[in-house]
């Protein structure tokens, strides 16, 4: 089952409707009050990321359900033009984007990077503080896309804890993240001009 698609924007348009859709979907499937709250929290984290995007962004939000597994989607193909990018970077004293903090902050940086003009080189997941991972196994993503996986990232960070202060900081971010603690998986796929984030969560009734 796929819900209606709600268009949301970094200016806040559609966000209340998206959150209402999440709660309505939870009720429609008879989820417990606790699981309804979890659905709401995961949706709020997504919407918070949308609001925090630098510049203008419009995205589509919807939810799909299959065998009690829910997939919260956020997809955009908006591209930032060169003048807008220059204007945004001029706001930074260094002329560069500040390093993103937290899991959702780093995911936001993927969306911002994908909105850059075609003439710009797409930063790698590594330069954004996120290890890269190919994951063509999820039914929710196009297998030809470049995909970042939260679980692959978590596994990589865990294996490096103790080896560097950066790994320790990354692990602390994971432990503090609402999404990292509630979601079964988070994927971000970048394919051409399109970027799609999917949060997966199985709610047992």
Q: Is the pLDDT of residue 84 over 50?
A: yes
**CB burial class (10 A; 0-12, 13-18, 19+) of residue 47?**
buried
pLDDT above 90 as % of the chain: 35
Dihedral over alpha carbons 76, 178, 20, 68 (to 10 degrees): 90
Domain interval for residue 25: 6-202
16, two tokens: 């209340």
> In a 10 Å sphere around its CB, with 0-12 CB exposed, 13-18 middle and 19+ buried, how is residue 52 labelled?
middle
More confident residue, 47 or 165: 47
Q: Is residue 125 part of a domain?
A: yes
Question: What would the pLDDT profile of 33-52 be if each residue is shown by its tens digit?
Answer: 999 999 999 999 999 989 88
**Domain assignment present for 66:** yes
pLDDT at 57 over 70: yes
Cβ pair 76, 46 in contact under 8 A: no
The number of folded domains in the chain is: 1
Please report whether residue 26 resides in a domain. Answer: yes
Query: CA-based Rg of the chain, rounded to a whole angstrom?
Result: 17
Residues 3/60, Cβ–Cβ less than 8 Å: no
pLDDT tens column, 118-155: 544 544 443 334 444 433 333 333 444 477 788 888 88
Cβ 199 vs Cβ 46: under 8 Å:
yes
Q: Decide if 30 is inside a domain.
A: yes
Is residue 1 included in any domain, yes or no? no
pTM for the full model? 0.77
Mean pLDDT: which of 6-10, 93-97, 98-102 is highest?
Answer: 6-10
- Domain annotation covers residue 113: yes
Does 135 map to a domain? yes
The secondary element (H helix, E strand) that includes residue 51 is helix 33-52
Nearest to 27 by CA among 44, 43, 45, 39: 39
């Amino acid at each position: 089952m796929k819900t209606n698609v709600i268009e949301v924007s970094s200016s806040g348009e559609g966000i209340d409707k998206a959150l209402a859709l999440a709660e309505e979907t939870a009720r429609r499937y008879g989820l417990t009050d606790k699981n309804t709250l979890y659905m709401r929290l995961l949706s709020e984290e997504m919407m918070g990321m949308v609001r925090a995007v630098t510049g203008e962004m419009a995205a589509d939000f919807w939810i799909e359900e299959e065998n009690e597994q829910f997939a919260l989607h956020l997809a955009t193909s908006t591209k930032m033009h060169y003048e807008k990018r220059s204007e945004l970077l001029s706001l930074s004293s260094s002329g560069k984007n500040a390093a993103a903090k937290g899991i959702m902050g780093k995911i936001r940086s993927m969306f911002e990077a994908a909105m850059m003009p075609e003439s710009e080189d797409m930063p790698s997941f590594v330069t954004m503080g996120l290890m890269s991972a190919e994951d063509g196994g999820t039914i929710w993503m196009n297998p030809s896309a470049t995909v970042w996986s939260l679980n692959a990232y978590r596994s990589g960070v865990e294996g490096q804890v103790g080896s560097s202060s950066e790994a320790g900081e990354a692990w602390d971010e994971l432990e503090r993240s609402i999404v990292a603690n509630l979601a079964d998986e988070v994927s971000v796929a970048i394919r051409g001009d399109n970027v799609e984030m999917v949060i997966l969560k199985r709610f047992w009734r």
